[in-house]
């Protein structure tokens, strides 16, 4: 398998290695090593070719409708991160949430600097919880999709962190709404925030279980996260009954509904694997369901920020005065 030309050596494709999803390296400067007993090269992979779905190892087979352009096993973190700038089935997944993460870093910095002096620390911390949860969720998602091809162990670890980020974002997204809905009512505010944190902790525990990440539990994952999200309807109903529908209008409930639609639609796209289900092999790089899901999550989070900001502005500008 190794051809020598002077002191330069080059690895050529080994059919068995390719079938196991192993990357192929071209090394012009160093001596190569032979594959180990598992058919894996010990040296760092720097050059590789994309594989068809059927040539992937079992743990990398997530979507049978994406027929080609999959990364092989790349057991080197630097090579995994360099793959961000190459075209493959995870490129869109990586960039959609990487850009989203950077957007929220910028929004958080702008908010923190431009509210200095006229926003209380409590209000800043409420938004900080939201910003931190969004950045964590999008950042962990980016990391997972970047290094998921490293090894089975790394795949499982970062998939759990990905699910953890989703659960944390759900918790962090709900806190500003409850805080500003019950801005002047301490007991309901504390009760509902405590409920959200407790339920969120249960969801986090469930997401970290080994069975939760299996491919055949895709629908269960969507149901668990959606059920957690729907608990926001409990304080929302309480608020509507005690303050009236008109107050919901002032609090931009239209944006709240739009946010919910974006998240729910994203979950439906994710679980049904549309559009690639109807066009197998046509969406391998761009516009497959996971990318669309990512885009809808980012749009939903931005919509939620706008709504929370308008609610906060309405409270802090004196339109709602608390009687002490």
Is 150 annotated among the ligand-binding residues?
no
User: Within this chain, do residues 99 and 163 fall inside the same structural domain, yes or no?
Assistant: yes
CATH of the domain at 149: 1.20.1070
Is 249 annotated among the ligand-binding residues?
no
Cross-strand pairs, 10: 3
pLDDT at 38: 36
User: Within this chain, do residues 160 and 279 fall inside the same structural domain, yes or no?
Assistant: yes
Residue 122 belongs to a domain: yes
Closest CA to 126 of 323, 324, 317, 315: 315
Q: Which segments in the chain show pLDDT lower than 70?
A: 1-46, 116-117, 318-324
pLDDT at 269: 95
Domain that holds residue 58: 1-86
User: Within this chain, do residues 135 and 222 fall inside the same structural domain, yes or no?
Assistant: yes
Question: CA 249, 255, 258, 264 torsion: positive or negative?
Answer: negative
What span, in angstroms and rounded, lies between the C-alpha atoms of 321 and 324? 9
User: Within this chain, do residues 264 and 234 fall inside the same structural domain, yes or no?
Assistant: yes
Give the tens place of pLDDT for each residue, 38-58: 334 344 456 899 999 999 999
User: Within this chain, do residues 80 and 176 fall inside the same structural domain, yes or no?
Assistant: no
Last residue of a domain, one of 43, 66, 86: 86
Is 319 annotated among the ligand-binding residues?
no
Last residue of a domain, one of 32, 60, 86: 86
Residue 324 belongs to a domain: no
pLDDT at 171: 94
User: Within this chain, do residues 82 and 95 fall inside the same structural domain, yes or no?
Assistant: no
pLDDT at 324: 53
User: Within this chain, do residues 215 and 298 fall inside the same structural domain, yes or no?
Assistant: yes
pLDDT at 76: 94
User: Within this chain, do residues 13 and 136 fall inside the same structural domain, yes or no?
Assistant: no
Is omega for the bond preceding 275 within 30 degrees of 0, making it cis?
yes
Q: How many domains does the chain have?
A: 2
User: Within this chain, do residues 104 and 53 fall inside the same structural domain, yes or no?
Assistant: no
User: Within this chain, do residues 129 and 263 fall inside the same structural domain, yes or no?
Assistant: yes
User: Within this chain, do residues 294 and 160 fall inside the same structural domain, yes or no?
Assistant: yes
Q: What distance lies between CA 253 and its chain's CA centroid?
A: 25
């Amino acid at each position: 398998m190794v051809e020598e030309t002077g002191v330069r050596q080059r690895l050529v494709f080994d059919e068995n290695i390719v079938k196991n999803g192993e990357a192929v390296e071209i090394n012009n400067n160093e001596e190569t090593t032979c594959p180990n007993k598992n058919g894996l090269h010990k040296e760092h992979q720097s050059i590789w070719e994309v594989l068809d779905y059927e040539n992937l190892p079992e743990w990398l087979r997530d979507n049978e409708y994406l027929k080609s352009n999959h990364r092989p096993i790349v057991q080197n973190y630097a090579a995994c991160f360099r793959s961000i700038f190459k075209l493959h089935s995870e490129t869109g997944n990586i960039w959609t949430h990487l850009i989203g993460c950077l957007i929220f870093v910028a929004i958080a910095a702008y908010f923190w600097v431009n509210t200095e002096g006229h926003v209380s620390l409590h209000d800043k911390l409420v938004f900080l919880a939201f910003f931190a949860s969004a950045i964590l969720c999008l950042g962990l998602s980016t990391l997972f999709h970047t290094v998921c091809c490293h090894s089975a162990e790394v795949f499982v670890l970062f998939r759990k962190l990905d699910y953890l980020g989703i659960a944390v974002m759900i918790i962090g997204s709900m806190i500003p709404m409850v805080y500003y809905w019950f801005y002047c009512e301490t007991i309901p505010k504390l009760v509902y925030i405590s409920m959200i944190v407790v339920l969120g902790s249960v969801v986090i525990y469930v997401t970290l279980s080994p069975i939760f990440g299996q491919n055949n539990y895709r629908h269960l994952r969507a149901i668990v996260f959606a059920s957690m999200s729907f608990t926001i309807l409990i304080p929302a109903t309480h608020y509507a009954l005690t303050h009236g529908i008109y107050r919901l209008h002032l609090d931009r409930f239209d944006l709240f509904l739009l946010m919910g639609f974006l998240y729910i639609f994203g979950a439906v796209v994710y679980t049904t694997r549309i559009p690639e289900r109807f066009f197998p092999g046509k969406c391998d790089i761009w516009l497959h369901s996971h990318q669309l899901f990512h885009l809808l999550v980012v749009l939903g989070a931005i919509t939620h920020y706008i709504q929370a900001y308008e609610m906060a502005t309405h409270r802090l500008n004196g339109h709602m005065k608390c009687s002490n």
